[in-house]
Each structure stands twice: as structure tokens, then as C-alpha cells.
Structure 1
Amino acid sequence: MRKITAGFFSGADGVVDEPQTWHFPYFCDELGAAVMELMGSADTVLFGRKTYEGFAEAWPAREEAGGEDYEMAKALGDARKIVVSHSPLDLTWRNSEQVQGDLIEYVQALKAEDGGPIGMSGSVSVARQLLHAGLLDELHLFIHPVAVGKGLRLWEDDLDEPLKLSLIKCDVFKSGTLHVVYGPAE
């Protein structure tokens, strides 16, 4: 069974929205290595539409430029990219496809396929659905020492009851960012 891991940049107040506006002052080598391990090792990446569009706008050009993030850009480009959207999409990034049918059934079948790890970056609504369905194996939160104040949070008022998690590990980076990894509660 394939493993699905999701990663989110988060403010200390739980905001995960628009990290490009507040995340970069806390970027460090440790954070870069952790993100590369999470996303660079995945042979399949699962995206919501909005996150896919942002990645597809940036990463192919970074790969073509061949700069310092070339390794990550190439890994993302080579990976199978699966996009969740209810509307038909024009998928321009190589190796991209759209989920057909019910997301939960699709992901159950995807996890049963042969292959390596499945990664996610962002895509809050997809992660929530997979958490509720018990299909997310690891939740990586990169909690930055900043209160963003407003914006989308991973945890909103949509839980009917607490969603119990189990701590797998917690690292502290030099920037003050915490890398907290949760799995399903036993």
C-alpha cells in the first residue's frame, strides 16, 4: 500500500493561506531539505486545482532555468501529477492528469497501485477530505514563528468531532520553524 504525505507551511496561528507572502524570511537549509525529502521523493503528487495552477506556473520555468532549485523542479516535473477539480482543466505541465469520479474512491485505488510515495503540498480541501476518510498517512506541518492573522486555516469549523492524531516526530529548525509530523491516531 502506497503512503500519502501532505505538507503545509503554517503560521503559529494555524493560517496556511498564501505562504508566499510570509514564509520566505523563515526559509533555511533545514527546511529546504525537509521539503525536498517530502516532495522530491514522491513519484506521484496530488494537488487541488489552485495549488496545481500555482505550481504549474512556477516550477516548469525553474526547471528550464536550471538554477539552485533545479533538482526539486525536475523531481516535480518528472512526477505523476494528479489534480482534483470538479471542473475540466487545461493541464499544461507534463505528466499531469485530472481525478475522474469520486475523490475518496480514486485515492483508495491510487494507494493500492504499485508505486512509490504520494506527496501533497498545500491543497487544504483535498487534505481535509483525506484526513476525514483516514487516507492520509502523514501530515507535515512546518509551523513558522509568525502570526499571519487572517486567511485559510487547515482546521476550520468543519469538524463534527475532534480528529485525533498521533505525533510521529517534531524537529526545530534554526529559523524557529517547527517541523511537526502527525499520523492517524492508533
Structure 2
Amino acid sequence: MTRELVWTGFMTLDGIVDSPGGVVEGHPQGGWVLSTPMDPEAFSLKGEEIAETSALMFGRRSYEDFAPEWNGSPDHAAYQDIPKLVVSSSLDEADLVDGWGETRILRSTEDVAEVKRDEHGAGGAIFIHGSAELARRLAEADLIDCYHLLLFPVLLGTGKRALPTSEHERRDLKLRDSATYSNGVVKLVYDAVR
């Protein structure tokens, strides 16, 4: 049995995932999620994901950004004790945040593939939040099984992308779910076709 690997994220219409929460995240036009008119229904996907999540996966930079914010946060309480997987060739055990559940460092794409192979059937869906570089690398290795996208009505032109940007074999996706919201956000849930 194989565990499902899901990339979930906020994305602009032109495929940028950079700095949705603010300029402090690095993009000069950051904060595009917060500047979009609020419609709580548009974020219902995030609540649905909590029930499906058996582990969280991050690249090093996203882990370093999210761990201090999410650890102990009432908004992310459901993720407190869920196992975390951090894919990094440079992070050490001493760099991990204390008190945020079991955390394991994976060193390579091959390690991610090994975690996906759930020989004992005890796993479940692993969700990657943010982590654009990691998501792109895993997609190019055909390890991502599902994409949960909240597409925002914004064009930035440049910035980080989570979807593959280099030449690779064609990969088809099958739409599992979609919805549109009053603020122009579109929910798109795609399964990888294999």
C-alpha cells in the first residue's frame, strides 16, 4: 500500500505561490491572500484537509517559517501532535522545534519515496504545505498524488512556483473537486493519473 502525498497551497492565476501572507515572506507584492476580500467558505478546504492528514511534510525553509508560528497556535491546534517530516540535507536534529509532535528529517527524494511505501498499512495522507521547491522536485519525480489548490484572482508575473518548471514527461490530472467563491477564489482538487 502507498501513502497518498498531497501538495496543498495558495496560488495566483499565473501559478505563483510566493509570499501569500505578506511582504515579510520575501516577495515585494506579498500578502495577496490577505488583500483578497474575505469569504470564509473559500477556506473550507483547509478544514477538510485536517481530517485527512496523518503527517505534515515541509522543506527546510517552510519548516523554519511554519514551526515557530504553528506550534501552540490555536488556529493550527489540530496539527500540534501530527507527525512532521522535514526534507532537508542541511537541517540537524538540534534545529527542530521542541514540543511540536514527532518530527523526522528526510535527506532525499528517495527518502520521501520510501515513506510513501507504507508496507504495514499504518499510514495515511501526507500533506505538504507551502514548500514550493520541495513540491516541484517531488512532482518532477512523480511522487505527488494529489493537488489541493486555492487559486486567487491575482497576477504577479514572477515569484516561486510549486508546479514543475523544467521539461519532463507529460502528467495528466483528473479533477476530483472544484468550487468557486464570491471573492473570485477557485478551489481545484486534482488527482495524478497513473
TM-score w.r.t. the length of structure 1 is 0.83
Q: 1:78·1:95 contact (CA, 8 Å) conserved in 2? A: yes
Match of 2:46 in 1: 35
Partner of 1:66: none
Structure-1 separation of matches of 2:172 and 2:35: 32
Paired position in structure 2 for 1:16: 17
* Letter in structure 2 aligned against 1:84: V
Q: Given the superposition, is the C-alpha separation of residues 161 and 153 from structure 1 closer, same or farther in structure 2, using an over 3 Å criterion?
A: same
| Structure-2 separation of matches of 1:130 and 1:156 | 9
Cα 1:129–1:174 change in 2 (3 A) is: same
Q: Deviations over 1:119-142 (max 9, x none)?
A: 111112222232223321211111
Selected match of 2:158 from 150, 153, 157:
150
- Say whether the 8 Å CA contact 2:57–2:85 is kept in structure 1: yes
What is the CA–CA distance in structure 1 between the aligned matches of 2:35 and 2:161, rounded to whole Å?
20
Q: Which runs of 5+ in 2 are unaligned?
A: 22-30
1:108: which partner in 2?
A: 114
1:170 corresponds in structure 2 to: 178
Query: For 1:43, what is the secondary structure of its paired residue?
Result: strand
Identity %: 29
**1:82 and 1:181, CA in 2 relative to 1: closer, same or farther beyond 3 A?**
same
User: In the TM superposition, what are the counterparts of 1:66-77 in structure 2 within 5 Å?
Assistant: 69=75, 73-77=76-80
Aligned to 2:85: 82
How far apart are 1:173 and its partner, in Å?
Answer: 1.7
How far the C-alpha of 1:33 sits from its partner, in A, is 1.8
Q: What is the CA–CA distance in structure 2 between the aligned matches of 1:3 and 1:160, rounded to whole Å?
A: 21
The residue type equivalent to 1:136 in the other structure is I
Count of residues paired in the alignment = 178
**Runs (5+) with no aligned partner, structure 1:** 64-68
In the alignment, which residue of structure 1 is the partner of 2:24?
none
Q: Normalized per residue, which structure has more helix? A: 1
Cα deviation, residue 101, structure 1: 4.0
RMSD: 2.1
Counterpart CA distance in 1 for 2:179 and 2:33 is 17
TM-score (ref. length: structure 2): 0.80
> Aligned letter for 2:187?
H
Aligned to 1:141: 149
Counterparts of 1:101 and 1:15 in 2: how far apart (Å)? 26
Provide the C-alpha distance between the structure 1 equivalents of 2:185 and 2:87, rounded to a whole number of angstroms: 29
CA drift of 1:148 comes to 2.1
Counterpart in the other structure of 1:127? 135
Amino acid aligned to 1:120: I
CA gap 1:96/1:176 in 2 versus in 1, 3 angstroms: same
